[in-house]
């Protein structure tokens, strides 16, 4: 069973952020234990290695403006539609060690202000690719109980276009009487132009049809394009669930999840960018479906219950996530 467990729990952890208020899910995979666990059998795992692939979608709508954590008016109707589709490919090397490569494709449509004028635009293209090495240092099963702890580390590469960060260098003060922009170059850049580090950990506990998962990630940022450095970030998710439908070839489950991020202020050539810090918490359900321990799908709705930002920012109204994973 461990030959597939290591390729499932840890790979559901990573979601390195591209920006303060939109975690891009650059390393997200949903080969979750709660989806596959009911159909794992030793004879299915005779080989010590296997491949898997998948894609995930995260859509976030930013239509609310906040200044230092307090809602403010939006007379210019500033907003952003953000879609991040991630493709990933993984290889389970041994029963306790695996590797996964990730490439996000990003599309963002936005409306903001430029002095006294409204500006609309689109940015699209690949984001920053990443690679993750994962391990399962502890796994225990007895009777109806299952416990697994996973750890991992990775590297993010500067494959996304960071040109929007040039706007942070050339930004000028808002003219008197004009409306401040709530969407900046750091929000729209497809990449950071930097090599960043990823540290991951996760926990999965199951008892009969009940389960609980928790995971966390620490993203270590370095200075990138035009001397811009995104702040280090902590992200996490946790919650209980139940597999309420089980058949010979499939399972259907639901989980109540809380998730969140903490990120400080970015810097430009050593000077703080005051509209980039964020502490957020989301709540919402997640539905999972598995088939024959080889195919898994999930859909989650995340509603923000806390968004404590610095400066003026467009913050999330809601976030939708979907995933499809296939194991060979």
Tens of pLDDT, residues 214-246:
999 999 999 999 999 999 999 999 999 999 888
CATH class label, 2-327: mainly beta
Q: In which band, very low, low, confident or very high, does the pLDDT at 267 lie, cut at 50, 70 and 90?
A: very high
- Closest by CA to 5, choosing from 131, 134, 130, 116, is 134
| Beta strand extents in the chain (DSSP E only) | 50-67, 70-72, 79-92, 97-114, 117-126, 130-142, 145-156, 196-207, 210-220, 228-229, 233-246, 250-263, 266-268, 271-273, 278-291, 295-309, 312-327
pLDDT of residue 48: 57
- pLDDT in the model for residue 8: 40
DSSP β-ladder status, 210-220 and 196-207: antiparallel
Please state the φ and ψ torsions of residue 278, each to the nearest 5 degrees.
Answer: -155, 135
Following DSSP, what letter does each residue of 226-281 receive, concatenated?
GGEEPPPEEEEEEEEEEEEEE-SSEEEEEEEEEEEEEE--EEETTEEETT--EEEE
What integer is the mean pLDDT of 84-100? 90
The tens digit of pLDDT for each residue in 298-326 reads 999 999 999 999 999 999 999 999 999 99
The pLDDT, as a whole number, for residue 13 is: 43
Q: Is 84 exposed, middle or buried (0-12, 13-18, 19+ CB in 10 A)?
A: buried
Indicate whether 103 pLDDT > 80: yes
pLDDT at position 184 over 60: yes
Q: Average pLDDT for residues 277-296, to the nearest whole number?
A: 92
pLDDT of residue 49: 77
Domain ranges (residues) in the chain: 2-327
Over residues 109-125, the pLDDT tens digits come to: 999 999 899 999 999 99
The residue among 189, 176, 187, 182 whose CA lies nearest residue 115 is: 176
């Amino acid at each position: 069973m461990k030959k597939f467990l290591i390729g499932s729990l840890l790979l559901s952890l990573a979601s390195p952020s591209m920006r303060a208020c939109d975690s891009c899910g650059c390393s997200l995979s949903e080969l979750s234990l709660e989806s596959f666990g009911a159909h794992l059998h030793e004879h299915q795992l005779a080989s010590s290695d296997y491949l898997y692939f998948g894609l995930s979608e995260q859509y976030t709508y930013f239509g609310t403006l906040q200044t230092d954590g307090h809602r403010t008016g939006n007379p210019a109707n500033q907003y952003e539609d953000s879609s991040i589709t991630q493709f990933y490919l993984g290889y389970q090397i041994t029963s306790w060690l695996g590797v996964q490569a990730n490439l996000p494709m990003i599309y963002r449509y936005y409306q903001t202000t430029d002095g006294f004028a409204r500006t609309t635009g689109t940015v699209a293209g690949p984001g920053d690719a990443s690679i993750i090495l994962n391990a399962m240092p502890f796994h225990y099963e007895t009777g109806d109980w299952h416990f697994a702890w996973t750890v991992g580390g990775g590297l993010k590469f500067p494959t996304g276009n960071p040109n929007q960060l040039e706007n942070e260098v050339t930004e000028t003060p808002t003219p008197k009487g004009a409306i401040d922009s709530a969407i900046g170059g750091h929000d729209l850049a497809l990449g950071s132009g930097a090599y960043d580090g990823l540290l991951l950990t996760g926990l999965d506990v199951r008892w009969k049809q009940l389960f609980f998962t928790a995971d966390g990630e620490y993203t270590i940022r370095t200075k990138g394009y035009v001397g811009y450095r995104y702040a280090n970030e902590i992200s996490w998710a946790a919650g209980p669930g139940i597999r309420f439908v089980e058949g010979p070839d499939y399972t259907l489950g639901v989980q109540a999840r809380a998730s969140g991020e903490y990120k400080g202020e970015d810097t430009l050539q050593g000077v703080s960018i005051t509209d980039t810090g964020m502490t957020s918490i989301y709540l919402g359900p997640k539905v999972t479906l598995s088939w024959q321990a080889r195919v898994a799908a999930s859909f989650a709705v995340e509603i923000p219950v806390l968004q404590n930002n610095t400066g003026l920012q467009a913050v999330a109204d809601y976030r939708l996530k979907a995933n499809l994973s296939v194991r060979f």
